């Protein structure tokens, strides 16, 4: 029985792979973010006691960009 749809290209693998760059960014600053969120949780989401952790996280994000 013939196929219902005819392929536009031959159904064989190419000799090379397309040169595409991955757009999904790497997971950076996860540790810093975890420390900051843990500090917030311990201090009822008050920024004042966690100022150093927040600064460390923002510094990491700025460096990653």
pTM of the model: 0.58
Decide if 58 is inside a domain: yes
Q: pLDDT tens, 20-56?
A: 665 556 678 899 999 999 999 999 999 999 999 999 9
Q: What is the pLDDT of residue 49?
A: 93
The number of folded domains in the chain is 1
Structural domain that includes position 39: 30-64
- The DSSP symbol for 25 reads P
CA dist., res. 51 & res. 32, Å (int): 13
CA dist., res. 15 & res. 12, Å (int): 9
Block residue for tokens 């004042």: 48
Decide if 41 is inside a domain: yes
CA dist., res. 29 & res. 64, Å (int): 8
- What does the DSSP assignment read for 10-28? -SS--SS-------SPP--
């Amino acid at each position: 029985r013939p196929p219902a749809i005819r392929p536009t290209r031959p159904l064989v693998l190419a000799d090379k792979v397309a040169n595409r760059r991955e757009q999904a960014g790497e997971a950076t600053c996860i540790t810093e973010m975890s420390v900051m969120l843990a500090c917030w949780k311990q201090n009822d989401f008050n920024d004042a006691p966690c100022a150093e952790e927040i600064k460390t996280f923002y510094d990491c994000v700025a460096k990653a960009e």
